[in-house]
Chains A and B, each alone.
Chain A
Amino acid sequence: MSPPEMPALREYLGPELKGRTISDACHDVSLTDILRSSCLIGRCRELSGRSVLIATSGQLLSALAMIELDGIARRMLLCPPDLDPDRIPALLADAAIDAIVTDRPLHRCDAAAHLIIGAGLPEQAAVGWKTERATEWLMLTSGTSGLPKIVGHTLEGLAGAIIAEGPARHPNATWATFYDIRRYGGLQIFLRAVIGGGSMVLSEPGETIADHVARLRAGRVTHISGTPSHWRKLLMSGAAANFSPRYVRLSGEIADQAVLDGLARVFPDASIGHAYASTEAGVGFTVDDGLEGFPADLIGRNRDGVEMKVLDGSLRIRSRRTAHAYIGAEAPPLVDAEGFVDTGDMVELRGERYHFVGRRGGIINIGGLKVHPEEVEAVINRHACVRMSRARSRRSPITGAVVVADVVLADCPDPGRREAIRMEILGRCKDSLAPYKVPAVIRFVERLDVTAAGKLARADA
């Protein structure tokens, strides 16, 4: 048992700071009073030292369980909402899970082999937990390339960027995120709310953007985070008009200049930052100057314990914020011999700045020439009439593949303008991209799907 190197989550909560809450669409729970009660039902004292799957139907109960069990359980595996139930038995085995906290019947695990503890609103008597250990935090990768993998973190690593900024960075914040907090990007925001002394408004699956924004306003949200796809959807909805956060954060996908400029127009009083983070590599850095990409001088030196280098075109990160391992019997190594995580995110130096160009696995091969869909999308998105776009590969009998683009137009202009817009987009692509990267076909579509992890769905990637 390793002694905790930083306080457990519960130690950031207490009666001193009044009025702290965490809420979803149905419930509002006081964080100020949270230590006076328990959300766990049954033989919960037996969770001490166990490897626990947190498998609640909603985010709120998961949040309460994380607060209670950090520093108590040996490890906690956070179960995201979109997890394929058929995967659960393999995950239980890989993570050596021996207890499950849940609020619903479980069909795919053997109740006899696991301690099952119920979860509900915090209406039980407090257990009086005392921090015993540094709990290992296990999360799943979003599985955009293959099956999701389990990665292991510590609270110290997860909170590394938050601690480095210091609590004064975002005082009296009420945080929100379009993410689910059981994924890395959302968990960062939950931890910011708890560790930074703030409150939190959770997202709700299936909620319309207008209803969500109404809750964000009612909850007086000041700080909010999402992927560029989340933000494009918000910009498209027109629902942002009466919402004025102080801090707007993007992460999880490439923040191109178009979405940064769009957010700056809609939220003129907000500070806008885009962060680079991944489930494996942790939080790398945050850029606050409103420009896409990141300054080249972030590469090659140690800043706040984060070192980055570019090798074979991909960004590599070594820091105490990275996960320490993939978990499971046949888990591959997570870091190289020098301790760097290969993020698989490809970057390109242009002048004094590195720009993200795409994922290594997402490359389209046009007769031997490589195209990242994201670099094509970045050009298309710069057109004022475009809200979002997706470039993808279509097989071709001549070149093996061609690039085609699906484009969602903003505030659909009159149909007569569409051909002109198509030609303008093609013209811009020709001006800024090599000929083989210019989409062969541009289709206008009503909408583009976003995955449960908040990323543009790339079926062929």
Chain B
Amino acid sequence: MSVRSRIFSAMQQIAEEQKVTLPPLRDDLPLPDTGFDSLAFAILVARLEDDLGIDPFTVAEQAPFPSTVGEFVRAYENVPA
């Protein structure tokens, strides 16, 4: 499974748990429009760290947090796992 599909799968799982209706996931979808609050993103980042072995936002402390789904996915794709 690609990094992208693992991220989307984790997002769908969390959306289900948090009773959030996830809109269709596209690269230009702004993160706030996913319906995820900061807690849901914190859960997502924690689970992806277990699944993919990386947390790109803690590794690069200066990096701004992404603002779209595409930027979020690229943050994971650009870190060597």
Contacts and interface: CB of A to CB of B under 8 A. Distances in A.
Interface of A: 366-367, 394-399, 402, 404, 426, 430, 435-436, 440-441, 443
A366 B17 CA distance: 19
A398 B42 contact: yes
B50 A396 contact: no
Contacts of A402: 42-43, 46
Contacts of B8: none
Nearest to A367: B38
A398 B64 CA distance: 11
A441 B47 contact: yes
Contact of A397 (B39, B47, B50, B65): B65
B17 A430 contact: yes
Contacts of B46: 394, 396, 402, 404, 440-441
Given A398-B45, A430-B17, A436 B39 contact: yes
Nearest to B61: A397
Given A402-B43, A426-B17, A435-B39, A395 B50 contact: no
Contacts of B38: 367, 398-399
Contacts, number: 42
Interface in B28-81: 38-39, 41-43, 45-47, 50, 55, 57-58, 65
A397 B17 contact: no
Given A426-B17, A430-B17, A396 B42 contact: yes
Q: Indicate the size class of the contact surface on chain B.
A: 10 to 19
A401 to B, nearest CB: 8
A373 B61 CA distance: 27
Contacts of A435: 18, 39
A404 B47 CA distance: 10
A430 B38 CA distance: 17
27 contacts: A366-B39, A366-B42, A394-B46, A395-B58, A396-B42, A396-B45, A396-B46, A397-B45, A397-B58, A397-B65, A398-B38, A398-B42, A398-B65, A402-B42, A402-B43, A402-B46, A404-B46, A430-B17, A435-B18, A435-B39, A436-B39, A440-B43, A440-B46, A440-B47, A441-B46, A441-B47, A441-B50
A442 to B, nearest CB: 10
Contacts of A441: 43, 46-47, 50
Nearest to A441: B46
Nearest to B46: A440
A402 B47 CA distance: 11
Given A397-B55, A440-B46, 11 more contacts: A366-B39, A394-B46, A396-B45, A397-B57, A397-B65, A398-B38, A398-B41, A399-B39, A402-B43, A435-B39, A443-B50
Which one of A367, A398, A430 has the highest number of Cβ atoms from chain B below 10 Å of its Cβ? A398
A422 to B, nearest CB: 11
A366 B40 CA distance: 12
A398 B65 CA distance: 9
Contacts of B65: 397-398
Nearest to B37: A435
Nearest to A395: B58
Nearest to A400: B42
Q: Which 9 A-B pairs have the closest CB atoms?
A: A397-B57, A440-B43, A399-B42, A398-B42, A440-B46, A396-B42, A402-B42, A397-B58, A398-B41
A251 to B, nearest CB: 34
A440 B40 CA distance: 9
B57 to A, nearest CB: 4
Most buried by A among B43, B57, B65: B43
